[in-house]
Amino acid sequence: MDLALSPDELAFRDEIRTWISGNLPDGWGGPNHREPKTLEERLEVARDWERRLAAGGYSGISWPKEFGGAGLSLMQQVIFHEEMALARAPQISVNFVGINLSGPTIRIYGNDEQRARYLPPILTMEEIWCQGFSEPNAGSDLANVQTRAVIDGDEFVLNGQKVWTSYAHIADWCLVLCRTDPKAPKHKGLSYVIVDMKTPGVDARPLRQITGDAEFNEVFFTDVRVPRENLLGELGMGWTYANTTLAHERGPAFLAHQIRFRNYLKDLIEQAKTRTRDGVALSKHPAFRERIAASYAEVEVMRAVGLRMVTGILKNGRPGLEASMAKLYWSEMVRRMNLLALQMEGMAGLLYGEDSPREGRWHDGYLSSFAQTIAAGSSEIQKNIIAERILGMPRGEVWAPKPKEPA
């Protein structure tokens, strides 16, 4: 694994740095910067930032040039994400699904008309996408999707319910995984349909989260009529296509997390120098010093895990099983780090919003860290994958002590 930057990559890094310094929104970049409080304000910042990226030619960095993307190499993408994180650029992404999930899937399986219609407005950020996979009884067990699409003349008629659909309430389009053949085996009767979110019968209802924000939704489809030409690829191939979409969910953007966590850790260490407990600075207090050092080590391990994943992609063209290790590691680690930060605040850590010492930053971080252990495959599912496919443990067998023989 040689990840030293070549002269060309160093030149690219400088180019990105220059671009960021000339384009970062006012007030962003410093350790004391506070993100806007409400989701609406944060979305506005994100939209503005994504428009700037698009204007600079950096919105589809992983997309091939023939589809209007920047066509960056994997290492260039890693550099791009790391520089963004180092500069503490806005990280909320309104069109994550369009750029990273729907766009690449349409590029691979869509026909020429679909590519021409849907791809350009994703890159310019004019159209926002959401991902209609999860349902009340289909999350980890995604193949259990029950939303039905019945062919009626030139249209599909869609009925069912999705849940946890991020940004569905502001999205223009939804890539819906639905059942088109209820008689076929579970994995075979699924298809992919592109749904205009403004069609009559589509009802997106935001769900309020523990942080108070409401960025994901329940989406109800009641007799929604979708033109047949909105079928992506072939009928009944939804499961295969969905797996392609999911493979794009954990890409090199992951490496940027590690830099962002390093930034948080830096802030946390600064805080530990000035806050005291029992008359001692937290940085010297035995109850905190060791945990801060452990957090430092964890961020370093995370970088190594991330680089291992990049090496896997360089060798095999797509993330391998390391992606599960990386996802499990960082999502659990960030929860520990946020909890430490919150406990460093003492009783004040219980306060929320403007009353709290850091305007609720760690409070929010801790509460939302739970979502990360569920999104894109829960920790338990990652552990199953690691156990079965990396460690070779038996599939689906639960260990239990043997009943004792009667004496």
Ligand X SMILES: Cc1cc2nc3c(=O)[nH]c(=O)nc-3n(C[C@H](O)[C@H](O)[C@H](O)COP(=O)(O)OP(=O)(O)OC[C@H]3O[C@@H](n4cnc5c(N)ncnc54)[C@H](O)[C@@H]3O)c2cc1C
381 part of the interface to ligand X, by CB under 6 A = yes
Backbone angles phi, psi at 115, to 5 degrees: -60, -45
* Sole binder of ligand X in the list 129, 216, 264, 366 (CB under 6 A): 216
> Does position 161 bind ligand X by CB under 6 A?
no
List 77, 165, 211, 295, residue binding ligand X (CB under 6 A): 165
Pick from 269, 294, 371, 386 the residue near ligand X by CB under 6 A. Answer: 371
Closest residue to ligand X, based on beta-carbon distance: 139
CA 275-278-281 angle, to 5 degrees, is 35
Q: Which of 38, 140, 144, 243 binds ligand X (CB under 6 A)?
A: 140
In the list 133, 173, 329, 330, the residue contacting ligand X (rule: CB under 6 A) is 133
Other residues' Cβ atoms within 10 Å of the Cβ of residue 64? 12
The distance of closest approach from Cβ of residue 376 to ligand X in the complex, given in angstroms and rounded to an integer, is 6
CB of 216 vs ligand X, minimal distance in Å: 5
Q: Give the total of residues touching ligand X (CB under 6 A).
A: 18
Residue 378 in contact with ligand X, rule: CB under 6 A? yes
Q: Verify binding: residue 247, ligand X, rule CB under 6 A.
A: no
Q: Is 386 near ligand X (CB under 6 A)?
A: no
Which CB sits closer to ligand X, 58 or 133?
Answer: 133
Nearer to ligand X, 207 or 348 (CB): 207
Burial of residue 161, with CB atoms counted within 10 A of its CB: 0-12 exposed, 13-18 middle, 19 or more buried: middle
**Nearest CB to ligand X, comparing residues 6 and 140:** 140
**Binding status of residue 166 toward ligand X by CB under 6 A:** yes
241 binds ligand X (CB under 6 A): no
CB of 253 to ligand X, least distance (A): 15
Instruction: Decide: is 221 part of the binding site for ligand X (CB under 6 A).
Output: no
- Choose between 16 and 128: whose C-beta lies nearer to ligand X: 128
Instruction: Kindly state whether residue 380 participates in binding ligand X, applying the rule CB under 6 A.
Output: yes
**CA–CA separation, 398 vs 126, rounded Å?**
49
User: Which C-beta is closer to ligand X: that of 68 or that of 90?
Assistant: 90
Residue 164 near ligand X by CB under 6 A: yes
Interface pick for ligand X out of 134, 191, 211, 295 (rule CB under 6 A) = 134
Q: Catalytic residue, from 249, 298, 322, 345: name it.
A: 249
C-alpha 254 chain-centroid distance: 9
CA 346, CA 334: separation in Å to the nearest integer? Answer: 19
Considering only 41-49, 131-139, 276-284, 304-312, which stretch makes contact with ligand X by CB under 6 A?
131-139
Beta strand pairing call for 276-277 and 280-281:
antiparallel
Catalytic, 234? Answer no
CB-nearer residue toward ligand X: 170 or 281: 170
Which residues form the catalytic set? 249
Interface contacts to ligand X, rule CB under 6 A = 130-134, 139-140, 164-166, 216, 371, 374-375, 378, 380-381, 384
